[in-house]
Chain A
């Protein structure tokens, strides 16, 4: 609780924040909602010399559906807003559903999209959904911007493709296409805890047959993982036979802890993928 003192600067624009990051290097930390950074500071895991506050920027709060089929979200959109926004729910219901599962109401009121993505907790909801959707992040140094695919951004435990002076500005996620169904599944020991495992499925089907799918899992590796082999195995399969096509999930490396063994988490992952596929397939049928 008795944290080391640090200096505080409130940035007015992304450009100012990036300048401060360049100037102060390692000792500077960015704060938006602070729902990951401040617990880490309180626990003594991080001791910044300077905290750069971007929570009150005039920019970064857009939430728009574009004509070419994308949901564009400013990095400072809170989880509570994303979960409740009617336009977001209509355009890409998977994202609001996942945002509504984050932490508790207090975390969702303060926590931001960009913060969750840049923090890159392997068990977090939004990075998983972004990887499953094939979203892209726009990042800036204040001088130059570039786009990174979610899959290339999340590199490992709390590790991203962001350079030291870069910030996430916005996210482009494809809207839910016609005929697609979706599902988000997670299991935590208590409501509000980080998930022991989570799974996302997106399915497009016609006449009861799977045409296309996207499947990803979270919390069981050092980053969210797309399950390409599961997706391939599903193509052409009857929606009714989905469960039989999902074997033990390959490529994951869950860590055992006091709450659950690695073996249990591996089994749980398979169960959640199966449940996600069943729900997504049912929704795809409804949508067709």
Chain B
């Protein structure tokens, strides 16, 4: 232990207290200031879905969302993002612990082989889909270009993201249709009530 940590080093110490909202759950830990967000998540908070690949921000295995934006957790200090909302692949699960739509699409399209890149791929894809703008296959490829996969050849991953996007759009359309039908029904009911009122 260094002098600074024991003696306080003139107001500076090696441990810093960091609070992050990880997948909706506030987590506070006092840990070494030198810990990257990735090490903080894995070693201090027990969130092990983001993976350590290259340590240089190139491979994307550690991709998490910080306040909604994808970052390489291996090259951000946890202390730097104190107070942020962090979403990892586990944060994409449904409330009952079942696979979320994007995860299900990855499963159905065989978009994971060894699985090491998958948590990062999911987060890069989640960031793209959350933009809410329909992305072309080319745009999906561009959004994933910073995430390396040595197994799948990328095709199934792009398929999965495309399918999840289509599913989301269909769900949204069905929801809009249902809302419209409900509104029409309410209007009809109101008209009928008006007629009855008129007859009286």
Interface size on B, residues (CB 8 A): 35
A7 near B12: Cβ-Cβ < 8 Å: yes
Kindly state whether residue B70 has any CB partner on chain A within 8 Å.
yes
For the complex, what is the distance from the CA of A27 to the CA of B69, rounded to whole Å? 32
Q: Which of A1, A9, A31, A106 contacts B71 (CB 8 A)?
A: A106
Residue of A5, A8, A109 most packed against chain B (CB within 10 A): A8
Q: Which of B29-66 contact A (CB under 8 A)?
A: 32-34, 36, 39, 52, 55-58, 60, 63
Given the contacts A39-B56, A43-B56, A105 and B75 also touching, CB distance less than 8 Å: no
In the docked arrangement, what's the CA distance between A41 and B57, Å? 12
A1 contacts which of B52, B76, B80 (Cβ < 8 Å)? B52
Residues of A within 8 A of B34 (CB): 3-6, 8, 41, 51
Closest to B120 in A: A106
CA distance A213 to B5 in the complex (A): 56
Q: Does B156 contact A (CB under 8 A)?
A: no
In the complex, the answer to whether B75 meets A42 with C-beta atoms within 8 Å is yes
On chain A, the residues within 8 Å of B39 by CB distance are 1
Q: Is the CB of A109 within 8 A of B55?
A: no
The residue of chain A having its C-beta at the shortest distance from the C-beta of B70 within the complex is: A106
Interface of B is mostly: mixed
The reply to whether A105 and B70 form a contact with Cβ atoms under 8 Å apart is yes
Q: Which residue of B lies closest to A191 (CB)?
A: B145
A217 to B5 Cα, complex, angstroms = 47
Is the beta-carbon distance between B75 and A39 smaller than 8 angstroms? yes
Contact present for A5 and B33 (CB under 8 Å): yes
Q: How large is the interface on A (under 10, 10 to 19, 20 to 34, 35 or more residues)?
A: 20 to 34
Question: Knowing A3-B34, A5-B14, A104-B146 touch, does A53 contact B77 (C-beta < 8 A)?
Answer: yes
| Closest chain B residue to A8, Cβ basis | B33
B36-A38 in contact (CB<8A): yes
Complex interface bits, A1-44 against B, C-beta within 8 A gives 1, otherwise 0: 10111111110000000000000000000010011001101110
B160 to chain A, nearest CB (A): 19
**How many Å lie between the Cα of A42 and that of B62 in the bound state?**
14
Decide yes or no whether A161 CB sits under 8 A from chain B: no
Contacts of B6 in A (CB 8 A): none
- Please indicate the chain B residues that have their CB under 8 angstroms from the CB of A4 in the complex: 34
Q: Which of A184-204 contact B (CB under 8 A)?
A: 191-192
Which of A38, A103, A106 contacts B63 (CB under 8 A)?
A106
Across the interface, name the chain B residue whose C-beta is closest to A55: B80
A255 adjacent to chain B (CB < 8 Å): no
In the bound complex, do residue A109 and residue B56 qualify as a contact, i.e. CB atoms below 8 Å apart?
A: no
State how many angstroms separate the Cβ of B152 from the closest Cβ of chain A.
Answer: 17
Residues A91-110 near B (CB distance < 8 A): 103-107, 109-110
Q: A39-B57, A42-B74, A106-B60 are in contact. Are A5 and B36 (CB under 8 A)?
A: no
> Which B residue sits closest to A7, measured CB to CB?
B12
Q: Is A130 an interface position by the 8 A CB rule?
A: no
Query: Smallest distance from the beta carbon of A11 to chain B beta carbons, Å?
Result: 12
Given known pairs A34-B75, A106-B70, A109-B70, the reply for A53 and B80 (CB within 8 Å) is yes
Let me know if B195 is at the binding interface, CB within 8 A: no
Q: Is B135 in contact with chain A by the CB < 8 A criterion?
A: no
What CA separation (Å) do A192 and B60 show in the bound complex? 12
Interface residues of A in 50-75 (CB under 8 A from B): 50-51, 53, 55-56
Contact of A110 with B76 in the complex, beta carbons under 8 Å: yes
Give 14 pairs: A residue, B residue, CB < 8 Å, sorted on A: A4-B34, A5-B33, A10-B79, A35-B72, A38-B57, A38-B75, A39-B56, A51-B34, A80-B69, A104-B145, A106-B63, A106-B70, A106-B71, A110-B75
Residues of A within 8 A of B (CB): 1, 3-10, 31, 34-35, 38-39, 41-43, 50-51, 53, 55-56, 80, 103-107, 109-110, 191-192
User: What 8 A-B pairs are tightest by C-beta distance, nearest first?
Assistant: A104-B146, A8-B33, A42-B55, A38-B75, A39-B56, A106-B72, A7-B12, A109-B69
